[in-house]
Chains A and B, each alone.
Chain A
Amino acid sequence: MMSRMALFLTLAAFCIAVCAGRVEAQTQLLNVSYDPTRELYRDINSLFAADWKKSSGETVTIRMSHGGSGAQARAVIAGIDASVVTLALAADIDAIAERTSKIPADWQKRLPDNSSPYTSTIVFVVRKGNPRGIKDWDDLVKPGIQVVTPNPKTSGGARWNYLAAWAYASEKNGGDDAKIRAFMSALFKNVSVLDTGARGATNTFAQRSIGDVLIAWENEAHLALQEMGADKFEIVTPSLSILAQPTVSLVDGNVDKTGNRKVAQAYLEFLYTAPAQAAIARHFYRPVKPEFADKKDLDRLPALKLVTIDGFFGGWAKVQKAHFAEGGVFDRIMADAHR
């Protein structure tokens, strides 16, 4: 009797579990994002929820999912119910558009500034007092320097790191391909830990005290200093870096099914408004509308020479195929570095 009862209960529990997955409140948004945006979106979400309540009277709950940008894109492809994606680079949203019918191919034209409401760049974090005297990319390829950067295969941030180094080497060597590759091999020879995500790499460098220099998102670098203590680390801005453009998009296929397109669209448009842009600068990102940001927030982000992915590399589609595909340039550089 007892066991039959137990069997019945477990079956009932499983049915409830299956059904629970089907029932969902209407005014819910799921923002599938990449690793370092946790603090930014916590701030923006509460701003937007208040704004939406005021303008429409509806209460909206915004759920977050964070992880490596590439892994998050794969989760959306595998069917996670994202209303919007806010990923580290356009290539990851391209991948979703390509493999599912949930996002149209021309998604990047639907919002201002190529759908990137904030940008960032790549800088170095070194230990306090800069004991290894690191000033620019050249210092990273010197023998004996330990570099920490995540793996470009899994991390969006790491791809920006890689391309920033490439752009520097290219400028310096007048575009000589062999010399650029030699520089990149020397760089990756010095990489001691290749984490899967940006946040993991920061923790390796800051918490576990591994490496002399961390190549990181500018926002991630400032956040690490704020959280772990400015008395332990310093930020070094290189002479040249890349304009990293994280991008956002509606996931049409999902919002049409859930019926929350209106609020999801409003959420993305909200990112370009004054309060959101101010929050963006507060969290060490570079706002696309700096006029809305607090001047003292902007002063923390120095001007430097930035190349763009479209201008310098000819766009993500090209870069992705040439550098990061199986057997691409990155694979060959890694093979060289570990010969």
Chain B
Amino acid sequence: MSKRLVSKRPVPPPTAATERPVTRLCLTAVALAFLALFLVLPVIVVFSEALAKGVTVYLETFDDPDARAAIELTLLVVAIAVPLNLVFGVAASWAIAKFEFRGKSLLITLIDLPFSVSPVVSGLIYVLLFGSQGLFGPWLEAHDIKILFALPGIVLATMFVTFPFVARELIPLMQEQGSLDEEAALTLGARGFRIFFTITLPNVAWGLLYGVLLCTARAMGEFGAVSVVSGHIRGVTDTMPLHVEILYNEYNFVAAFAMASLLTLMAVVTLAAKTVLEMHYGDALARTTRI
């Protein structure tokens, strides 16, 4: 672009859409085709397979006590992991965006770690830490506390994998906003937590909501890390994604896809909630992000 500006013959500066209509059409078509092939089609397949033997068979899947237990466990894990990640995510991004301290870039890198590490590896980390032969294993066993192959292990693995969602959403937002509002509040005599709850938190409310929704969707669907720490005990430590695999491996394809369709629905509802909120409160959102 800079070359064009210094060239001798003046060229009109390129605007946002100088491409010819044909090019635009092609690009749109490619994007739509890609979406249809890789997103819409699989979702349709999931639902058509699930309903292949009729609605009655589909609904029977959810009558099975093991299926119920898997759904309950998944919801319970989300109910524990997401609020905890919310608290940690807000704390971490607050510290990073508003304060200067040594090791800040290290902290940012660490927050991103779960994105770059394979979920299987993150599951294995917990086996190495809390397994019988692991670092804390003997102590935990002596005190009869179960982490691995029980709810706490599944929650920890889910939290590890979904940790960056809230923080990653908030850090750029908070950095962009700077700390002017907070400084103003400080000059008006507000202190610590008061500033946080009346200024900082409301300012990022929308970004926070977005992060929490993404975190929820991901927490429901986590497979790899949970698979390593769960122990696959039917009706006890099987989450919904694990139960899908089990049903599939038992040649119970209708039930497997029925369970998968429920997972898909839960994710779609989560994202739809986000869209609806955006539609209704778009102005407020624009204000807080200061676009």
- Interface residue ranges, A against B (CB under 8 Å): 3, 6-7, 9-10, 13-14, 17-18, 20-22, 30, 32, 35, 38-39, 63-67, 75, 77-81, 99-100, 199-200, 203, 223-224, 227-228
Contact = CB atoms under 8 A, between A and B. Distances in A.
Interface string B8-46: 000000000000000000000000000000000000000
A14 B249 CA distance: 32
29 contacts: A3-B201, A6-B83, A10-B80, A13-B83, A14-B84, A14-B152, A17-B76, A17-B155, A20-B150, A21-B150, A21-B151, A30-B233, A38-B250, A39-B250, A63-B235, A64-B233, A65-B233, A66-B246, A66-B249, A67-B232, A77-B133, A78-B127, A79-B130, A79-B137, A79-B148, A80-B231, A100-B132, A199-B249, A227-B251
Given A17-B80, A67-B232, 10 more contacts: A6-B86, A10-B84, A14-B152, A17-B76, A21-B146, A38-B250, A39-B250, A65-B232, A79-B132, A100-B133
B107 interface: no
Interface of B: 76, 79-80, 83-84, 86-87, 127, 130-134, 137, 141, 144-152, 155, 197, 201, 231-236, 246, 248-251
A200 B246 CA distance: 11
Contacts of A63: 233-236
Contacts of B235: 63
A288 B237 CA distance: 33
A18 B145 contact: yes
Contact of A22 (B131, B146, B249, B250): B146
Contacts of A10: 80, 83-84, 87
Given A10-B87, A65-B231, A100-B132, A81 B149 contact: yes
Contact of A80 (B134, B149, B197): B149
A17 B152 contact: yes
A35 B79 CA distance: 31
* Chain A binding surface, main DSSP class: helix
Contacts of A18: 145, 152
Contacts of B145: 18, 21-22
B232 A66 contact: yes
A245 to B, nearest CB: 23
Contact of B249 (A21, A79, A203): A203
